[in-house]
């Protein structure tokens, strides 16, 4: 009886092993076939989409990229200019404060001297986002220096 039980258990485990192996092989074959059929259908769908006479998908992608680039560049390059102080008055193409210091016409920030020593009438805004160029000129259009402008404002 003991031998019969051992033979029976060997037969059960052998059949179980064969069944599990068969299930695994069948699952692999069916899975690979499903993936192949799905990829074949996906490839056909992709091919028909790319060969459409009106490439709407290309237009949509380019439009989306254009909008994203516009938003990115607008946020990157826009300069939020402040309104200048009402105490500033405009003379010689720049704003002047009450201490006779020059201010930018765009943002009201102080002006700095140009890096070229040859022309003392050129000034740049100290705000790196604005960085606008200002040239001091009198009413006839002649370039003047900062000190000449201050002297002319005292006579006015």
Indicate whether 64 and 126 sit together in one domain.
no
Boundary (domain end) residue, out of 21, 45, 77: 77
Q: Give the residue, 79 or 56, on which the prediction is more confident.
A: 56
Tell me the residue range of the domain where 9 lies. 2-77
- 0.85 surpassed by pTM: no
Mean pLDDT is lowest, of 11-25, 76-90, 131-145, for 76-90
How much is the pLDDT for 69?
92
Digit-coded pLDDT (tens) for 84-121: 556 777 777 788 878 888 888 777 788 877 766 677 77
Same domain, 42 and 102: no
Regarding whether 93 and 73 lie in a shared domain, the answer is no
For the chain, how many structural domains are there in total?
A: 2
**Is 145 a residue whose pLDDT tops 70?**
yes
Last residue of some domain: 44, 77, 110? 77
pLDDT of 68 > 90? The answer is yes
Calculate the average pLDDT of the chain.
78
- Model pLDDT, residue 56: 76
Q: Are 106 and 81 within 8 A, CB to CB?
A: yes
Q: Among the three residues 55, 77, 99, which one is the final residue of a domain in this structure?
A: 77
132/139 Cα distance (integer angstroms): 21
For residue range 121-131, what is the model confidence (pLDDT) as tens digits? 788 887 777 77
Q: Give CA–CA dist 83/93, Å, rounded.
A: 16
């Amino acid at each position: 009886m003991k031998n019969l039980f051992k033979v029976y258990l060997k037969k059960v485990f052998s059949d179980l092993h064969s069944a599990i192996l068969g299930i695994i092989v069948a699952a692999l074959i069916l899975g690979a076939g499903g993936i192949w059929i799905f990829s074949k259908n996906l490839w056909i769908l992709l091919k028909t989409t790319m060969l459409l006479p009106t490439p709407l998908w290309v237009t949509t992608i380019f439009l989306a990229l254009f909008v994203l680039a516009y938003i990115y560049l607008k946020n990157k390059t826009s300069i939020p200019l402040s309104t200048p102080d009402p105490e500033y008055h405009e003379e010689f193409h720049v704003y002047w404060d009450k201490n006779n210091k020059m201010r930018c016409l765009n943002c009201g920030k102080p002006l700095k001297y140009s890096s070229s020593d040859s022309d003392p009438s050129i000034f740049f805004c100290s705000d790196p986002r604005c960085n606008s160029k200002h040239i001091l000129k009198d009413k006839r259009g002649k370039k003047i220096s900062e000190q000449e402008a201050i002297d002319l404002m005292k006579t006015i």
